[in-house]
Amino acid sequence: MEISGESKWVKLKAVEATPESFGEYGQVVEASPDGDVFGPSDAQLDLSHGVPR
């Protein structure tokens, strides 16, 4: 990818992230209150491609 230094405006349409529409990229989870214990409704990490930085 070559960067020319020029800016370009691109208009995008926002869509709701649902488990179906976002599934290719990962999980959709809802916010939980601070202090909640980790549980099955939390996002599951996929470390099959290495440990994230």
Radius of gyration of the chain (CA): 17
The one-digit pLDDT tens for each residue of the chain (53 residues) are 667 788 999 999 999 999 899 989 888 888 888 999 988 888 888 889 898 77
Q: Where are the beta strands (DSSP E) in the chain?
A: none
Give the pLDDT of residue 1. 61
Give the pLDDT of residue 5. 80
Give the pLDDT of residue 21. 92
Give the pLDDT of residue 34. 92
